[in-house]
Structure 1
Amino acid sequence: MSDSDLIKLYSSRILGLAAEIPHLGRLPAPQGTARKRSPLCGSTVTADVVVRDDRIAGFAQDVKACALGQASAAVLGAVVIGRTLPELQAARDALQAMLKEGGPVPGAPFEGYEVLLPARDYKNRHASILLALEAVVEAMEAAQAAA
């Protein structure tokens, strides 16, 4: 990867998001929890959720990832409260399609993922970018299964 490729990939916007991740930490009494890990790079995201009326009412995330994984977690954290499982599954699937198949940016309210469009060309970064959405989907599934 050349220096100009790195500069493009790690834009100031991505680095800014990585520095300001909403809902960092853990919930004291989550209804659902999931930990996802990228085997390629070792990045991990743990998501805790509280669900009311089939929507996320409480959310926290423990993010130990590269700047791209952190930026992804920041985009999610900004819009996750109030979301339903189908909305989160659709966002996860759309983000995966955007990265792996050249699909469009996920729709509102997840359009902030457009900042990660330059990562399409770096397949070894895709798993880290997907971790936050995968973790929150799995945590919400666990919460609903326990209800």
Structure 2
Amino acid sequence: MTAPLYNTRILRLAATIPHHERLPDPMASAEKRSPVCGSRVTVDVALDQAGRVSALGMQVRACALGQASASLMGAHAVGRSLAELAAARDALAAWLAGERDAPPDWPELDIFAPALPHSARHPSIRLAFEAVAEAVAQALARHEDAA
């Protein structure tokens, strides 16, 4: 028997998204949208001197899977570098696509195992990870251009 796609853990995460307010003065922002379901995630970031996320703000308009993914990303993104965030984004995409057996090295992403056979759900799960990596890359590029 397979696990249900929407379970208590996913619904609990979807209801408790950290950093759920947009930042008033972000260094960069990125918005990602799933054309399949219309889910949308906007991420604002500020970086510290080392280029790590020091502040995060999100606006999440997504299904429960997208919200749960945003919750997991938001809970662990502060203090991370672009390299770490891009690695998590890429590993998540590869795992969802069946290109790797193990879930990414990011807390609790194994909760999406029941969604693996549902490829139409994958874009909404990836949104927050894609948006945060893009926003951090933009912030770093702006900082380099200003220097």
Superposition TM-score tier, normalisation by shorter sequence: over 0.9
The letter for the 2-side match of 1:66 is: C
Which residue, 19, 23, 28 being the options, matches 1:23? Answer: 19
TM superposition shift of 1:112: 1.2
Report the number of matched residues: 141
| Coordinate RMSD, CA, aligned | 1.3
Aligned-partner SS, 1:45? strand
Which ranges in structure 2 are unaligned for 5 or more consecutive residues?
none
Which residue, 30, 36, 50 being the options, matches 1:34? Answer: 30
Which residue, 122, 132, 139 being the options, matches 1:136? Answer: 132
Segments of 4+ moved more than 2 angstroms? none
C-alpha distance in structure 2 between counterparts of 1:145 and 1:21, whole Å: 28
The letter for the 1-side match of 2:42 is: T
Work out whether residues 57 and 81 of structure 1, in 8 Å CA contact, stay in contact via their aligned partners in 2: yes
Question: Is it true that 1:61 corresponds to 2:86 in the alignment?
Answer: no
The 5 A counterparts of 1:1-147 are 8-52=4-48, 53-101=50-98, 103=100, 104-107=102-105, 110-147=106-143
TM superposition shift of 1:92: 0.5
Which ranges in structure 1 are unaligned for 5 or more consecutive residues?
none
C-alpha distance in structure 1 between counterparts of 2:17 and 2:99, whole Å: 26
TM superposition shift of 1:25: 1.4
Aligned-partner SS, 1:59? strand
Q: What TM-score, normalized by structure 1, do the two folds share?
A: 0.92
The letter for the 2-side match of 1:106 is: P
Tell me the alpha carbon deviations over residues 20-47 of structure 1, each in whole angstroms, 9 at most, x when there is no partner.
0110010000001000000111100000
C-alpha distance in structure 2 between counterparts of 1:15 and 1:122, whole Å: 18
Q: What TM-score, normalized by structure 2, do the two folds share?
A: 0.92
C-alpha distance in structure 2 between counterparts of 1:26 and 1:88, whole Å: 19
Greater share of helix = 1
